[in-house]
A and B are shown apart, each in its own frame.
Chain A
Amino acid sequence: MPELRDLYQEVILEHSKAPRNYKEPAGTNHKAEGYNPLCGDRFTVYLEMDGDAIRDIGFQGAGCAISKASASMMTQSVKGKTKAEAHKIFEQFHRLVTGHSHEDGSEDQAELGKLAVFSGVSEFPVRVKCATLAWHTLEAALEGQQEKVSTE
């Protein structure tokens, strides 16, 4: 039986209550909106891109604890990274939360660092969309998509 504490880890709860980079950076030159119509979660991700690098990142919006904490920790993990690096982190993160990490997942977990606290999500398949909403929105912002991203 999946354990609630695996999903709602302290770090996740803490980030959901006090999200980091909850702002629109002054130098924003890319942004995208993400929406999960199933639960009404809605986030905007703002990027200040310097060429291929994410110089600054912020997000705003409303959602459940998982989606908010994921957005908050995402901003910390990709700040200063290149587009390709951010993309790779999302791929690893996606494998982690869907339970598709290589072998025992230790490789991804090690590389993901703090984001590894989201491994419990894989035991709650209906919550994968919550954990990945901000990431899909980030991808859209990086690609300069104008359309709103939806998880459906």
Chain B
Amino acid sequence: MSAAAAVPIRARAVQQPFDVERIRGDFPILHTRVHGHPLVYLDNAATSQKPRSVIDAIVRYYEGENANIHRGVHYLSQVATEEFEKARETVRGFVNAAQSSEIIFTRGTTEAINLVAQTYGRAHLGAGDEVLITAMEHHSNIVPWQMLCEGKGAKLRVAPINDAGELLLEEFDKLLGRRTKVVAVAHVSNALGTINPLKRMVALAHARGIPVVVDGAQAVPHLGVDVQDLDADFYAFSGHKMYGPTGIGVLYGKHALLDAMPPYQGGGDMISSVTFEKTTYNKLPHKFEAGTPDMAGVAGLKAAIDYMNGIGIAKIAGHEHDLLEYATEELGALPGVRLIGTAREKASVLSFVLDEVHPHDIGTILDQQGIAVRTGHHCAQPVMERFHIPATVRASFAVYNTKAEIDALVRGIRKVREVFA
């Protein structure tokens, strides 16, 4: 297991020694009590909590900087535009894109994937062509491609996984064919925690000239992501899973690809000139950012990246890796617990089922003890089918979680067994 070791460490802001209690102090919501118990928040793969600095950045934006961007000559508009573009540069550095014009702000991962499907996909797919995904995708990396295929008479192909939840790389390779026009894969599975061998997958696809779209929603919060090193063609992620606000996300795309693509939505900001006869589209990245964007969200996302950089992504990954190993050992030792997703390379997610007790019942009983986990299919129904289960309980970790909270989860599971004894 080398999630931590694999993290590329780049020059960061000055980092303090890792102190989880100090970090917990940065997150106001963690002091909440639920049903008389301290909140144990283990639903980070759904959305993470926000540090004070992110909340403050949003307030600061509205209190001191709010104006529409790329439009006015007035003072506030210039400040807002500058801050917005500074944030784009911060995102660029965070994922190591070559240029900030390759960073498109979206509402989230879902919108970013839909953008690629509806622009690149529509321009390049024809009847009989294929899109290759994997059996561990989130619905947001299945449905946009299904919609595209349906409209084009194209086929969705699915690369299988093994019982541990790992991609069968040889099968993936075999499915890359003459008709494959796009490969769309998760970097980290939200339901299983599997870290895919993305660099090798990209290399295999590129060997056949096929571009790769990556759903990075579960990877960016936990691994150091370097889009150039991965050589990903498109890489999508969400702010709210990495300590940032909801409603803001990012699509990274290689400049040449983005530049050649038709626009997604039409409107203001994405144009250079409009007449009733003809519209000329704006240059990158604005071509893909129609309408007034979520400027406060972008301010919050920048603060979230600054926060993560302040701790250091390697330290975050290392801490979460320790938690995952500890939780895997402790939960795995409980009678009746079956872990779902036991890949060698995993990040942050521990999915499990309990003999004789439905995940929904487990969720309610844990909630009564202040423990927040996700129960259900995790927007990955095909994954549930693959493992012949209707649902799982998913505990997912973030930088502020502690071993004591995992102990609370273990006590919680024991309580479930008591109730159902």
Contacts and interface: CB of A to CB of B under 8 A. Distances in A.
Co-complex (A, B): yes
Nearest to B384: A40
Interface in A63-111: 63-66
A65 B420 contact: yes
B390 A4 contact: no
Interface in A1-42: 1-2, 4-5, 7-8, 13, 17, 38-42
A7 B358 contact: no
Contacts of B356: 17
Nearest to B390: A40
A121 B193 CA distance: 33
A47 B376 CA distance: 30
Nearest to B356: A17
Interface stretch (B118-126, B292-300, B361-369): B361-369
Contacts of B361: 8, 64-66
B401 to A, nearest CB: 24
A13 B420 contact: yes
B36 interface: yes
Contacts of A7: 364
Given A39-B376, A41-B390, A4 B360 contact: no
B368 A4 contact: yes
Contacts of B420: 8, 13, 65
Given A64-B358, A64-B360, A127-B364, A38 B376 contact: yes
B368 A39 contact: no
Contact of B365 (A4, A17, A42, A63): A4
Contacts of A8: 361, 365, 419-420
B357 A65 contact: yes
Contacts of A2: 35, 368
Given A64-B360, A65-B358, A130-B360, A1 B376 contact: no
Contacts of A66: 360-361
A35 to B, nearest CB: 10
A54 B267 CA distance: 60
Contacts of A64: 358-361
A51 B346 CA distance: 58
B391 A39 contact: yes
B390 A42 contact: yes
A1 B35 contact: yes
Interface residues of B, number: 20
Contacts of B368: 2, 4
B360 A39 contact: yes
A88 B360 CA distance: 28
A133 to B, nearest CB: 11
A62 B390 contact: yes
A17 B358 CA distance: 11
Q: Name the residue among A17, A65, A126 with the largest chain B CB count within 10 angstroms.
A: A65
Contacts of A41: 358, 360, 390
B365 A40 contact: no
A5 B418 CA distance: 11
A19 to B, nearest CB: 13
Interface string B373-386: 00111000100100
B374 to A, nearest CB: 11
A40 B377 contact: yes
Contacts of B375: 39
Nearest to B357: A65
A80 B277 CA distance: 73
Contacts of A39: 358-360, 375-376, 390-391
Given A4-B368, A7-B364, A127-B364, A40 B357 contact: no
Contacts of A124: 364
Nearest to A39: B360
Contacts of A62: 390
Contacts of A63: 358, 360, 390
9 residue pairs, one from A and one from B, having the closest CB atoms = A40-B390, A64-B358, A64-B360, A39-B360, A40-B391, A65-B361, A64-B361, A8-B419, A4-B368
Interface of B: 35-36, 356-361, 364-365, 368, 375-377, 381, 384, 390-391, 419-420
11 contacts: A7-B364, A39-B391, A40-B376, A40-B381, A40-B391, A41-B360, A41-B390, A65-B420, A66-B361, A127-B360, A127-B364
Given A2-B35, A8-B420, A40-B376, 17 more contacts: A2-B368, A4-B365, A4-B368, A38-B376, A39-B375, A39-B376, A40-B377, A40-B391, A41-B358, A41-B360, A41-B390, A42-B390, A63-B358, A63-B390, A65-B361, A66-B361, A124-B364
